[in-house]
Chains A and B, each alone.
Chain A
Amino acid sequence: MSNITDDYPLSEKRPDRLTTPTGASWTDIDLQSVLDGALGMSDLRIAPETLELQARIAESAGRSQLAENLRRAAELVGVPEARILEVYQALRPGRSTPGELESLADELESQYRADRCARFLREAAQAYAS
């Protein structure tokens, strides 16, 4: 079985596996398409599947915490930036009650299927409360 790290860097070795959350492929993105106005910043976003590939690469290099971070990131791809910043704010010291963090966790879970992030928030809430 080939090692996933053999595919790294994906941008050189497996650009065929790279697509954006808006469905654009690696080769769709060139200077001409930018000049035509066919592309926006939203087309230059990493896809959750790509983050999962990078998580597996990190894992196979022995970096389990980095892999976990990348998997949390994969869940956040679909969360709007403003909402991400609000969650960040909520996690800062003294900003939220455990209940507020809990309801944010619920929202991440139900709206964005961000289970790892939700668990992370609940663990924070528990730590903040003790």
Chain B
Amino acid sequence: MTAYIIRRLLQLVLVLFGVTLITFSMLKLVPGDPAVALAGKGATNERIAFVRHQRGLDRSFYVQYYLYVGRLFHGDLGDSLYSGRPVRTLIWEAAPVTIQLAIAAVLIELLGIPLGVYSALRQYSFWDTALTTAALILWGIPVFVLGYFAMYIFGLKLNWLPIGGVGPTVLWVIPSSWESLKTLILPALTLGMIEVAYISYMQRASMLEVTRSDFIRTARAKGLSERQVIWGHGFKNAVIPVMTIAGIDLGALIGGAIITETVFNRPGIGQMIYLAINQRDIAVIAGGVLFATFFFVFANLLVDLGYAWVDPRVRLGE
């Protein structure tokens, strides 16, 4: 296990190196002189030159990258070119909104596991066909399309739920009132439904594969009850790969959360990036993308370590 963790951490360092190199290159590739932007409106040439030197913008690419990573270690993502506020502060304010949505969606996503198992145990039955078809259709629906239809029907026509905004929270992410929870329901269901479809589809496939394997036949042969065979042997082995898939899929979930926020007007990371795109504020875009990527990379690390911990084949596989 230790060897696996070390290997995995080495890989992590490499990935983070690549990711920061890419975001840094993007910052450099954008046309325009960042020193002029940083110095502010109507700055003198001396002032611009001073800022350029102070921020190391007159140094070579490699030195600048080195300085950039050094600033990242201090949590400094630069300042917004539009509002002048530190990107770190913007992210700090926006992140709880996005994290709240992501957690709610993950909780809904878990419903896919029982649905998938049900489908697999009754393969080719009416409900299996219905669930599988629904899953494939939902899987193909872009999150903003589903979001606007949900908003139109439940928000505008039936008037059951608010069509956007966020409410007050305790501990950053837990809605503190019914009104606050209501603002979360539509976005979370929108994002969660698409993930439920995906997870149930994967759980079904995994369960079907496991129930056809030799050790299940052995379990039946030694006289275990059907319940013990399915849940004790089958389900346990079928759910592990799905958890990994869910980990990989977290990237899609984060991306989906970003888009969902623009639909329901939630002031999270997605909304922040969306506004920054319209303002051509590359510092905020790169900062937001980097933040989400770090989150994704570390979440995946935890999932992988958990997977290796429960399934020795993974850590001994190499």
User: Do A and B interact?
Assistant: no
A residues with a Cβ closer than 8 A to B are none
B residues with a Cβ closer than 8 A to A are none
